[in-house]
Amino acid sequence: NEQSKWADWSYKPNAHECDFHGVGCTNGVVTSLDLRNADLCAPNLVDGNGDVAKDSKGAGNNDSNESNDKTDNKPKSGSELPQGSSVVPANECLGIPSELSYLSKGLQFLDLSRSPHLKGTLPSELGMLHKLEVLDVSRSSLITGTIPSELSNLMSLQKIDLSENSLSGTINPRLFQLHSVEYINFHSNYLTGTIPHTNRLQNLKVLILSRQHTPGFTGPIPNSITEVRLLENLELYGNSLVGTIPESIGNCTSLRRIDLYSNFLTGTIPARLGHIGALSIIHLKRNRLTGTIPNSISSLPTLTWLDLGWNQLSGEIPHVLGSTPLPKEVHLSNNRLRGTVPESLCNNQLINGGAPKRFGCHGILCPLWFYNEENGYASERGACIECPEHQRANPYLGSIGCQSFAQRDVLHLFYGVMKGEQAWPLDSRWNFNAQNNEGELINECGFEGVSCDDDGVIDELTLPLSSAILAQNIL
């Protein structure tokens, strides 16, 4: 089994450390500790007396098919530990030892990943390993505490992976000033605060800060991220980021993947995304983006994944979007898109798992007045279903449900048709997003020119427009 590789650490106490599994040396000096999958601090490996536990599957386990003695739990042959040696029981495991700093003379590579029983905190003494180039303590979910600020002293560091742990607190801005770093992965922790400025990370190729547990990172995406010209992979999904996607993101000409899924981003999709020739994945689903889909995206020669669903995008789908040669996934559902799906997309039988091959254009988006509650498009899990006539308040492509018309919806549609934002006097325009002191939307009965009866039902509309304004702006 996997853990049996680590048996020599317990059974050969007099052996040279450079002969241990996972230890690399140069001229007798330890330069690497590759302990991935060692399952450090695993329970029930060996008891406090140096005896192999009955249910042990780790280092020192007897590989024969014979059962162990039920009286003293010792193997009947072979794998007994030398007299006096022992392994610390899991309940006494103190986590990552600060004494690792004594290896500062040569240690360049440290990988303690994939040890689900490893617990404790990251010792600040790791910052004394001045020659360290790779630090990987990922996928050890019992590791808690904060990221030590002392790690910013590792001037030779090229890769740091602390993903899938239980780290909390903020990122010290000094950590983002290490010029040598090429790879940063803090995915799936409990980190908070804002994302530090990144303009000093000139060699950075991968930045993964995704899926922090609520609330995760807040504030805007720093504009300095657009100064990292070598950046290839940007993953910030699953946080609480606000503000807009920097228009200057187009400066990241090496970018292959941008994943900002599930945040609270607003504004429009930067047209300059379409100028990044290497870009193959654009994942902006579940934000609050508005505006239209930029035509420039259709010019990306290697685009394979485009997900803009669950936003507030409007207008029509660019007809040139289907001319992109390689898309395999195109998800635009649950926006405010109108018109028709370009035939070039409908004819691409590879998109969305081959859904267009069976369902035609419905395999891209359900048409107006139709819905699919799971995807907004037809798939093997269900076709697009027509909405009943009295539930057609959402006249958009890719709907995930049908809605009945409320009087506020009617006013909203009416206001748009009448070009209220352009044609009506400033003091008479209707603000459908305005809130009262309690944070609730202001009732439409309070709009200028709207009169309601005692039950809140609109009974009179007085338009703030002269016939001249109507003729000039509407007709």
Give the mean model confidence (pLDDT) for residues 282-299. 94
Each residue of 415-434: pLDDT tens digit? 887 878 888 888 888 998 88
**β-sheet bridge partners, residue 263:** none
Q: Is the pLDDT of residue 52 over 70?
A: no
Each residue of 75-105: pLDDT tens digit? 333 333 344 444 445 456 778 999 999 999 9
β pairing state of 336-338 and 206-208: unpaired
Each residue of 127-148: pLDDT tens digit? 999 999 999 999 999 999 999 9
Greatest mean pLDDT range, 67-76, 105-114, 335-344: 105-114
The answer to which of 50-59, 345-354, 448-457 has the lowest mean pLDDT is: 50-59
Q: What is the pLDDT of residue 13?
A: 66
Q: What is the mean pLDDT of the chain?
A: 85
Question: What is the Cα–Cα distance from 172 to 194, expressed in whole angstroms?
Answer: 10
Give the mean model confidence (pLDDT) for residues 105-111. 97
What pTM, to 2 d.p., does this model score? 0.79
The answer to which of 255-269, 273-287, 323-337 has the lowest mean pLDDT is: 323-337
Question: What is the Cα–Cα distance from 342 to 362, expressed in whole angstroms?
Answer: 11
Secondary structure string (H, E, C) spanning the chain: CHHHHHCHHHHCCCCCHHHCCCEEEECCEEEEEECCCCCCCCCCCECCCCCECCCCCCCCCCCCCCCCCCCCCCCCCCCCCCCCCCCCCHHHCCCCCHHHHHHCCCCCEEECCCCCCCEEECCHHHHHCCCCCEEECCCCCEEECCCCHHHHHCCCCCEEECCCCCCEECCCHHHHHCCCCCEEECCCCEECECCCCCCCCCCCCEEECCCCCCCCEEECCCHHHHHCCCCCEEECCCCEECCCCCHHHHHCCCCCEEECCCCCCCCCCCHHHHHCCCCCEEECCCCCCCCCCCHHHHHCCCCCEEECCCCCCEEECCHHHHHCCCCCEEECCCCEEECCCCHHHHCCCCHHHHHHHHHHHHHCCCCCCEECCCCCCCECCECCEECCCCCCCCCCCCECCCCCCCHHHHHHHHHHHCCHHHHCCHHHCCCCCCECCCCCECCHHHCCCEEECCCCCEEEECCCCCHHHHHHHCC
Give the mean model confidence (pLDDT) for residues 219-241. 97
Each residue of 380-389: pLDDT tens digit? 999 999 999 8
Dihedrals phi, psi of 52, to nearest 5 degrees: -70, 130
Q: Categorize the per-residue pLDDT at 64 as very low, low, confident or very high, splitting at 50, 70 and 90.
A: very low
Q: Is the pLDDT of residue 470 over 60?
A: no
Q: What percent of the chain has pLDDT over 70?
A: 84
Q: What is the pLDDT of residue 350?
A: 84
For residue 55, the tally of other CB atoms under 10 A from its CB is 11
Q: Categorize the per-residue pLDDT at 4 as very low, low, confident or very high, splitting at 50, 70 and 90.
A: low
Each residue of 176-211: pLDDT tens digit? 999 999 999 999 999 999 999 999 999 999 999 999
Q: What is the pLDDT of residue 409?
A: 80
Q: What is the pLDDT of residue 330?
A: 94
Q: What is the pLDDT of residue 50?
A: 43
The answer to which of 88-92, 272-276, 321-325, 411-415 has the lowest mean pLDDT is: 88-92
Cis omega (within 30 of 0) for bond into 215: yes
Q: What is the pLDDT of residue 2?
A: 52
Distance of CA 2 to the CA centre of its chain: 31
Q: What is the pLDDT of residue 68?
A: 37
